[in-house]
Amino acid sequence: MFGVCKRYARSREDAEDVLLEGFFKVFKNIEQFKSAGSFEGWIRRIMVNESLMFLRKKHNFQLTVEVSNIEIKTEVNAEQDLMAEDILNMLDKLPTGYRTVFNLYVLEGYKHREIAAILGISINTSKSQLILAKKRMRAMLVANQYPDVG
């Protein structure tokens, strides 16, 4: 669960704080767990929600910029060659808005409508933040000379 928190919080210390708060809520609300899904999934959702609450306190997602009509190639063959640590290091370098939307959409599986509701932004802002995150990550890949990116 620390890995989940670290994807959202930029520093190790902040991720640890979020993790502790999350586990506090897990233990406080353990009776609310219904055996309909996995226990790990229930805890993961709490950790994601705690991470988002932390980010809302520290950052104003309303200040993000909407960009429309951006064309970007989505085929990246270098993904197979990247280690998980490389991806996490690149995520750490993204601005908070980009990183948060990328995490929610790509890693957590939320739809743009859900992300917009969670973060209090428009659907178009969510989409543009994802596009810009992918574009920035592609630029990092090119800078690090990964093959098949460009």
Span of 28-32, 53-57, 146-150 with lowest mean pLDDT: 146-150
Q: Where are the domains of the chain?
A: 1-58, 63-150
DSSP conformation letters of 75-139: --GGGGG--HHHHHHHHHHS-HHHHHHHIIIIIS---HHHHHHHHT--HHHHHHHHHHHHHHHHH
- % of the chain exceeding 90 in pLDDT: 40
Does 130 score more than 90 pLDDT? Answer: yes
Query: What is the topology classification, in CATH, of domain 63-150?
Result: Arc Repressor Mutant, subunit A (1.10.10)
How confident is the model over 45-77, as pLDDT tens digits? 899 999 988 988 876 555 444 444 444 444 444
Assessment of whether the complete model's pTM goes beyond 0.85: no
